[in-house]
Amino acid sequence: MMAQKVDVAKREAESNANRLGYMALIAGWLVPGAGHLMLKRWGRGLLVLGSITCMFVLGIMMGAKLYAPNAADLLDMLGFLGDLGSGLLYLISHAMGLGQAPVQIVTADYGAKFVVVAGLLNLISAVDAHSIAIGRKP
């Protein structure tokens, strides 16, 4: 009877950790650093928020092209997936019509890489928040 109760409590705790892990993953993807902030890792969360946001904004200011889904071009699709990693930053910028001008100067090409890499780094950070939430990382 006692063992059964312990088993149920253990399963419940695992289920809660899993739920928290997925919430941290999704929050971290949507808003850079939100996954870490949710888990009260304030320093890491603020650094991730600052770094990813600065990288994304600098990219846009450099004249980056924001990729849109284009099944006809594999490179465009890869760029789109990278951009999408920034979550709301990408969705809002795309909705505001930013990054639609053609790339004309070399720094604009760098800007496009800044935006794609910001998205990829944000995905790494979101996975890191998930790992912390489920106890895989301290």
Partner 1 sequence: MSLAPSHFTSVILFAIFASIIFGITQRSTPRAMVRYGAYCFVLFLVAVIAASWLMYFIRH
What is the contact surface with partner 1 in residues (CB under 8 A)?
43-44, 47-48, 51-52, 54-55, 58, 61-63, 105-107, 110, 113-114, 117-118, 121, 124-125, 127-128, 137-138
63: left (phi over 0), alpha (psi -120 to 50) or beta: left
- By C-beta, is 67 or 130 nearer to partner 1? 130
Helix, strand, coil shares of the chain as percentages rounded to 5?
75, 0, 25
CB of 125 to partner 1, least distance (A): 6
- By C-beta, is 23 or 107 nearer to partner 1? 107
Q: Which residue from 15, 54, 61, 5 is spatially nearest to 32, judged by alpha carbons?
A: 54
Rounded distance, CA 34 to CA 115, Å?
19
CB of 113 to partner 1, least distance (A): 8
CB of 16 to partner 1, least distance (A): 23
